[in-house]
Structure 1
């Protein structure tokens, strides 16, 4: 790293969701158009061996926020689901964890999170919001507390507990068939059954249906919501304008806080399934819905960077782009694959230690500090990023292990 003095630069962090290592032009893809991210790589440094702390959203993001292994904060599970599967689920990133947002907030930065959280919301009740982003160092939050699932798009097949739902439907249909048979037998005289028994059987079937459908039949309404701080702004989320709203909120935050310093963490909903893409980008790519979504994401990144330039903040802004983990190879719609491409690496999202699930693209731009067009081939973890750039900014992060990139090492990590 150059020794030039840096005075409280702005920090812009952009994290894609489920983006494959091989989905960007600057990382070897010659069939998807990502000109804005490619330009960002030319203007900064490309991190070719960057590893996520986990191959799933919740633990990987917890590690990124805290600089600690997710197991230390209780954000890892051996059992399914290994991520928060519902907005109303109890638990989340402990409030006593120190995030990079908390540290910068204490140093006078205005901090904002736009987009996906997925670190839990509540403790004891459905609205105590003890794990809310505002309790983790962010002054402003606009986005979804959960994540995107197929149920968020009305015309998609369900994604959550599909086999269990099918079992419940089967038993519901059997209960309905039993009631129909009892009524038919009674009315035709084939056999005698008291109406009270028929009514009781029907009531049990209805109660059984309500008990499970209340949980799964309203997934879109309960899980797919947008918040501004603590206030629900959309329930359910309207995916047709989600991208434009995330973009508008991001650029507005930059404009409002151009006097700085600010931290803006843009946690994109792209390119997570169901890969909803606006009409402008629908059908533009050579790779179906997923490719369209990647190219729309690239456009969004370009617009956010343009907002930084418009306010004259480029030279005083540390910009970082990455993904939370590798592409979702198993995401399919019929015979169409909806997940990303992880290049030469085997495996993908959720696949344990397979490198395709944890190898992620990384780009850093910091004009005057980071040499443009450079490449770092040394192994780097998402765990390291926050402690490293906070140290560069003069805000040392807590240390929970040994700093193997020491100043005396010939393999020291630096620019």
Structure 2
């Protein structure tokens, strides 16, 4: 799309990339939702280009964002999982985006851009020690970082059901109760003389039960303190973060970055915490939408988009700023509290977050705006990808994108979550085949009777998959069980471990 613009060699526009979290394509007005109020995002689409077949490289946060940052499928950087854990689970894990990956921030930094990230990272922090910050944004081309090194979780807000490994935690609690009951029975029996056992054995049994409980509660019981933190560059500013002021702090930092770098060129990646659960929404927006807390959170995010656009206009940067808005993947269907739905709507598309096999998990909103350079109120129906942002911004910065893959590889540069393995997963042999140009909602699968080219198409797909796999080279698996497990010695901590607490932010925001 940008190849026909004819970009003058002396022009290096400012670049603002805005990425929502868990936003469904059917959640905003310009994609057909007439009950949700998103005037700022809708106006952005009216003034720019709207993509109707914009595809994420993965249906979950960590791998999708790794692909977005690098322009490569996450499997090539080790950011695609081969186990049940398909995203990073802890700040204190050792997995993350490898330092040898070339992000678009590194490219633009080399091209003279000031580069900043405000918001969610979720690409890891440390490798071997608590302060090595090998996976940190500042080690991936960003000059400035303010936000969450992890991601929002229900655990970040008091009185919310746990989200991290919820089913596993329920099992741990169940076994804790069984062990506690057994210990109580043994001790009672010893005291009453009904059980013939030495005090030493009884105490050892009780100690075993305590150690079992302490071993898992020391991590899962303190998720809010371990994962829900804010950082400015390499320093922790809030641990745990106070959600009631997080939105204002992030907005303040984004606007400040625009103001400080108004003489440009700059790259600002605004990685929203909205609209991931727990959907914390400031009082100003509570109860405003027709769709409960999720709708309130979307309308607050739309307001944030408007504030950022206003900041661009107030600095006189409107015509020299390339702006992009998208979501990292589809909305989450399973998010709920009781009977209240807390996840997004993916429109006519089946599936959602965590389901890469259906369009609803990977088809996302995509909007560009650059007044005078991109045609206003335009629609692009051709397939595009979040990974296309990499070569796009590299082109805007007059950088020639390197060849990542062997010639002919076929790349096109230019239970809270539904599981992908195990019980309950259906495997289709042969795979289901849909014609998305005529059936975007994947309502009716094709068959040899309805599609004469059925077998030929499947054969071509199988050959393409084999060719893709042939080009893969072995890399360390960043989402292996060893890398994602909580490691106390890697835990970012403001204070004395394990009593991690600090508040360096000011309330006068």
- Residue 236 of structure 2: SS of its match in structure 1? strand
- Residue 103 of structure 1: SS of its match in structure 2? helix
Kindly indicate whether residue 163 of structure 2 is the aligned counterpart of residue 159 of structure 1.
yes
Measured at CA, do residues 191 and 136 of structure 1 come closer, stay the same or move farther in structure 2, by a change above 3 Å?
closer
Cα offset for 1:23?
0.6
Distance 1:386 1:79 in 2: 28
Kindly indicate whether residue 291 of structure 2 is the aligned counterpart of residue 271 of structure 1.
no
- Could you list the per-position Cα deviations for residues 289-336 of structure 1 after superposition, in whole angstroms to 9, with x for gaps in the alignment? 111110000000000111111111111101000111111111111111
Alignment of 1:95-174 (within 5 A): 95-174=99-178
TM-score, length-scaled by structure 2? 0.77
Tell me which residue corresponds to 1:37.
41
| Equivalent position to 2:186, from 182, 185, 190 | 182
- Could you list the per-position Cα deviations for residues 208-262 of structure 1 after superposition, in whole angstroms to 9, with x for gaps in the alignment? 1111111210111101111111111111111111111111110011111111111
Distance 1:365 1:106 in 2: 24
Distance 1:238 1:392 in 2: 38
| Equivalent position to 2:200, from 196, 204, 221 | 196
- Could you list the per-position Cα deviations for residues 328-364 of structure 1 after superposition, in whole angstroms to 9, with x for gaps in the alignment? 1111111111110011100001112200011010110
Distance 2:192 2:295 in 1: 60
Kindly indicate whether residue 217 of structure 2 is the aligned counterpart of residue 221 of structure 1.
no
Asked if the contact 2:36–2:290 (Cα under 8 Å) also holds between the matched residues in 1, the reply is yes
Alignment of 1:61-80 (within 5 A): 61-80=65-84
Kindly indicate whether residue 5 of structure 2 is the aligned counterpart of residue 2 of structure 1.
yes
Kindly indicate whether residue 211 of structure 2 is the aligned counterpart of residue 207 of structure 1.
yes
Asked if the contact 2:289–2:296 (Cα under 8 Å) also holds between the matched residues in 1, the reply is yes
Asked if the contact 2:187–2:202 (Cα under 8 Å) also holds between the matched residues in 1, the reply is yes
- Residue 205 of structure 2: SS of its match in structure 1? helix
Cα offset for 1:34?
0.2
Distance 1:147 1:185 in 2: 48
Asked if the contact 1:50–1:360 (Cα under 8 Å) also holds between the matched residues in 2, the reply is yes
Measured at CA, do residues 13 and 180 of structure 1 come closer, stay the same or move farther in structure 2, by a change above 3 Å?
same
- Residue 361 of structure 1: SS of its match in structure 2? strand
- Could you list the per-position Cα deviations for residues 367-411 of structure 1 after superposition, in whole angstroms to 9, with x for gaps in the alignment? 1100111111111111112202321442222233568699xxxxx
Cα offset for 1:129?
0.8
Kindly indicate whether residue 359 of structure 2 is the aligned counterpart of residue 355 of structure 1.
yes
Measured at CA, do residues 349 and 206 of structure 1 come closer, stay the same or move farther in structure 2, by a change above 3 Å?
same
Tell me which residue corresponds to 1:290.
294
Residue ranges of structure 2 left out of the alignment (5+ in a row): 415-509
Alignment of 1:300-339 (within 5 A): 300-339=304-343
| Equivalent position to 1:250, from 251, 254, 257 | 254
- Residue 25 of structure 2: SS of its match in structure 1? coil
Cα offset for 1:133?
0.5
Measured at CA, do residues 76 and 403 of structure 1 come closer, stay the same or move farther in structure 2, by a change above 3 Å?
closer
Distance 1:353 1:370 in 2: 33
Deviates more, 1:261-270 or 1:206-215: 206-215
Distance 1:394 1:88 in 2: 38
Tell me which residue corresponds to 2:398.
394
Distance 1:57 1:191 in 2: 53
Cα offset for 1:196?
2.0
Asked if the contact 2:391–2:413 (Cα under 8 Å) also holds between the matched residues in 1, the reply is no
- Could you list the per-position Cα deviations for residues 259-294 of structure 1 after superposition, in whole angstroms to 9, with x for gaps in the alignment? 111100000000011111111111111111111110
Distance 1:57 1:183 in 2: 48
Asked if the contact 1:387–1:398 (Cα under 8 Å) also holds between the matched residues in 2, the reply is no
Distance 2:184 2:41 in 1: 61
Distance 1:270 1:404 in 2: 30
Distance 1:72 1:181 in 2: 54
Tell me which residue corresponds to 1:412.
none
Distance 2:413 2:245 in 1: 44
- Could you list the per-position Cα deviations for residues 89-148 of structure 1 after superposition, in whole angstroms to 9, with x for gaps in the alignment? 112111111111111101111100000111111111233110111011000001111111
Kindly indicate whether residue 74 of structure 2 is the aligned counterpart of residue 54 of structure 1.
no
| Equivalent position to 2:378, from 374, 378, 387 | 374
Distance 1:396 1:296 in 2: 38
Residue ranges of structure 1 left out of the alignment (5+ in a row): 407-415
Cα offset for 1:181?
2.1
